[in-house]
Amino acid sequence: MRTRMTGRLLGGLLAAGLVMGTAGAGHAATADSGTAAAASVQTSATAAKAAAYPQVYLNTVVNQWTHWTPDYYDSTHAGWLYAGSNYFYCIKEGVYYSDNGRRSRYWLLTDDDSGNRNVYVSEVYLDQWGWDNVYSLLDYC
């Protein structure tokens, strides 16, 4: 089991001047055998890519699926990222996705609440402040 409470608390304290809103509550989740197997398939190049970027905390407004690639397909579903304050490494162009009254082709690289590293979520679920500022805060992957 993995919680992100420490990261959220530390990120909230460090980035208080950068991110508006409050940090979400920490969540614990378990990874099932399917996501654990998929996680082992990731390349070291992807892991090195995320390590090259600083973590930027932004607020998300819904619990959402994470994906191994920047798309919304069921076949790439990795795990879950819970609503609240979450960290992101960088932004990447991918498949267009529409929801939450928004449409975007950009996906954010993060680690999810299911224990998966270097997975993507759509930017459409950022809060309004994050939606307005994401391009000035995150580098392109």
**Minimum mean pLDDT range among 47-56, 99-108, 117-126:** 47-56
Number of H helices, E strands in the chain: 4, 10
Average of per-residue pLDDT across 71-94? 97
Q: What percent of the chain has pLDDT over 90?
A: 61
Is-above-0.85 flag for pTM? no
> pLDDT of 49-66, one tens digit each?
666 788 999 999 999 999
Task: Residue 8: count other Cβ atoms within 10 Å of its Cβ.
Answer: 20
Mean pLDDT, the chain, integer: 77
Tell me what pLDDT residue 39 has: 45
Spatial contact of 80 and 119, defined as CB atoms under 8 Å apart? no
Q: At 45, which helix (H) or strand (E)? A: helix 44-51
pLDDT over 80 at 87, yes or no:
yes
Please, what is the Cα angle at 106 between 102 and 112, to 5 degrees?
Answer: 100
